[in-house]
Structure 1
Amino acid sequence: MPAVEETLRALLARGAEDGTLAPGSKLPTERDLVERLAAPRSAVRRALDALERDGLVIRHVGRGTFLTDAAAPPLGGAPADTSPAEIMQVRLLLEPPVAAHAARVATQADLDRIAECLRAGGRAEDFEGFESWDARLHRAIALAAHNGLLMNMFDVMNTARALPVWGSLKRRTSSPERRRCYHEEHTSIVEALCDRDPEGAQQCMRAHLENVSDNLLGRR
Structure 2
Amino acid sequence: MGYRAGVRTVEQQLRALLDEGAADGTLGPGAKLPTERALAEMLSAPRSTIRRALDALESEGLIERHVGRGTFRTDVGHRPAGDAPPDTSPAEIMQVRLVIEPPVAALAARIATSADLARIRTELDAGGAAEDFESFEAADARLHRAIALAAHNGLLMTMFDVMNTARALPVWGSLKRRTSTPQRRACYHAEHTTIVEALHDRDPEGAQEAMRAHLQNVADNLLGRH
Alignment TM-score > 0.5, same fold: yes
Q: Aligned ranges for residues 33-72 of structure 1 at < 5 Å? A: none
> Post-superposition shift, 1:11?
1.8
Q: Aligned ranges for residues 4-153 of structure 1 at < 5 Å? A: 9-11=27-29, 25-28=62-65, 32=69, 73-153=79-159
> Post-superposition shift, 1:175?
0.6
Q: Secondary structure at the match of 2:79?
A: coil
CA distance in 2, matches of 1:197, 1:8: 32
Distance 1:142 1:22, change over 3 A: farther
Q: Encode CA deviations 1:100-154: one digit per residue, 9 max, x unaligned.
A: 0000010000000000000011001000000000000000000000000000000
Q: Structure 2: which 5+ residue stretches go unaligned?
A: 1-23, 32-56
> Post-superposition shift, 1:80?
0.2
Q: Structure 1: which 5+ residue stretches go unaligned?
A: 1-5, 14-19, 34-63
CA distance in 2, matches of 1:22, 1:130: 40
Partner residue, 1:217: 223
What is the number of residues matched between the two proteins?
176
> Post-superposition shift, 1:26?
3.8
> Post-superposition shift, 1:219?
2.4
1:202 equivalent to 2:208? Answer yes
Partner residue, 2:173: 167
> Post-superposition shift, 1:180?
0.3
CA contact (8 A) 2:28 2:78 kept: no
> Post-superposition shift, 1:30?
9.7
> Post-superposition shift, 1:8?
5.2
Q: Secondary structure at the match of 2:185?
A: helix
CA distance in 1, matches of 2:83, 2:25: 22
CA contact (8 A) 1:102 1:142 kept: yes
Distance 1:65 1:118, change over 3 A: farther
- Percent identical pairs in the alignment equals 68
Please report the RMSD computed on the Cα atoms of aligned residues, expressed in angstroms: 2.8
Q: Encode CA deviations 1:41-80: one digit per residue, 9 max, x unaligned.
A: xxxxxxxxxxxxxxxxxxxxxxx6889xxx7624410000
CA contact (8 A) 1:72 1:148 kept: no
Distance 1:212 1:135, change over 3 A: same
1:182 equivalent to 2:188? Answer yes
Distance 1:8 1:94, change over 3 A: closer
CA distance in 1, matches of 2:199, 2:165: 25
State the one-letter code of the partner of 2:105.
A
